[in-house]
Chains A and B, each alone.
Chain A
Amino acid sequence: MAPAALFLAVFVAWPLVKLLLDSLYQIAPLAGTKRYVGFGNYRNALSSPEFVGSAERTAIYTGIVVSLELTLGLATALLFNTLGRRSRVLRTVFLYPLMIAPIVAGLLWRFLLIDNFGIVNELLTRVGILHTPAAISWLSDPNIVLFSVGLPDIWLTTSFMSLVLFAGLQNIPGELLEAARIDGANARQRFTWIVLPLLRPVIAVAVIVRGIDAARAFDVILIQTNGGPQQKSETLSLLIYQTMIRYGDPGLASAMSVMYLLAMLVTAAVALATIWRPGRSQA
Chain B
Amino acid sequence: MTALVFDRRRATRTLLWLLLGAVVVLYAFPFVYLVLTSFKLPTDVISVPPMFLPKTWTLANFHAALSAPGVPAALLHSLEAASISTVLSLLLAVPAAYGVTRYGTVPGQVFIMGALVARMVPPVAIGVPLVGIMNSVGLNDSSLGLAIAHTTISLPLSIWLMASYLDAVPVELDEAARVDGASRIGALWRVVMPVAAGGIAVTAIFAFLASWNEFLFALLLTSIHAQTMPVVIANFQTQYGLQWGTMTALATIYSVPVVLLSLFLQRRIVAGLTLGAVKG
Contact = CB atoms under 8 A, between A and B. Distances in A.
Given A11-B151, A96-B259, A216-B123, A5 B31 contact: no
A168 B274 CA distance: 8
B108 to A, nearest CB: 7
A144 interface: no
A97 interface: yes
Contacts of A8: 114-115, 118, 152, 155-156
Contact of A167 (B93, B133, B251, B274): B274
Contacts of B125: 15-16, 19, 240, 257-258, 260-261
Interface string B253-273: 011001101110010011001
Contact of A99 (B108, B122, B237, B258): B258
B156 to A, nearest CB: 8
Contacts of B111: 1, 5
Contact of B50 (A11, A80, A117, A260): A117
A168 B276 CA distance: 11
Contacts, number: 237
B61 to A, nearest CB: 13
A93 B19 contact: no
B234 A103 contact: yes
Contacts of B248: 108, 111
Interface stretch (A30-38, A176-184, A188-196, A202-210): A202-210
Interface string B45-61: 01111101000000000
Interface in B100-158: 100, 107-108, 111, 114-115, 117-126, 128-130, 132-133, 148-149, 151-152, 155-156
A274 interface: no
A201 to B, nearest CB: 7
A108 B49 contact: no
B179 interface: no
Given A5-B111, A108-B30, A261 B120 contact: yes
A113 B149 CA distance: 33
Contact of B276 (A14, A80, A205, A257): A205
B117 A104 contact: no
A240 to B, nearest CB: 5
Interface string A107-130: 111011000111100100000000
B278 A171 contact: yes
Contacts of A163: 270, 273-274
Given A15-B133, A261-B120, A100 B31 contact: yes
A91 B271 CA distance: 13
Contacts of B107: 1
A83 B91 CA distance: 41
Nearest to B23: A76
B30 A112 contact: yes
A93 B229 CA distance: 25
Interface stretch (A43-51, A63-71, A218-226): A218-226
Contacts of A218: 123-124, 215-216
Contacts of B123: 216, 218
Nearest to A21: B129
A237 B124 contact: yes
B259 A1 contact: no
Interface in B1-56: 13, 16-17, 19-21, 23-24, 27-28, 30-31, 33-34, 37, 46-50, 52
Contacts of A15: 125-126, 129-130, 133
Interface of B: 13, 16-17, 19-21, 23-24, 27-28, 30-31, 33-34, 37, 46-50, 52, 91-93, 95-96, 99-100, 107-108, 111, 114-115, 117-126, 128-130, 132-133, 148-149, 151-152, 155-156, 159, 209, 212-213, 215-216, 229-230, 233-234, 237, 244, 247-248, 251, 254-255, 258-259, 261-263, 266, 269-270, 273-274, 276-278, 280
Interface of A: 1-5, 7-8, 11-12, 14-16, 18-19, 22, 76, 79-80, 82-83, 87, 90-104, 107-109, 111-112, 116-119, 122, 133, 155, 158-160, 163-164, 166-168, 171, 201-202, 205-206, 209, 212, 215-216, 218-219, 222-223, 236-237, 240-241, 244, 250, 253-254, 257-258, 260-261, 264-265, 268
21 contacts: A4-B92, A4-B159, A11-B130, A12-B118, A16-B125, A83-B17, A91-B266, A96-B28, A99-B258, A104-B233, A111-B37, A111-B248, A119-B52, A133-B49, A163-B274, A167-B277, A209-B277, A216-B123, A218-B123, A219-B230, A241-B124
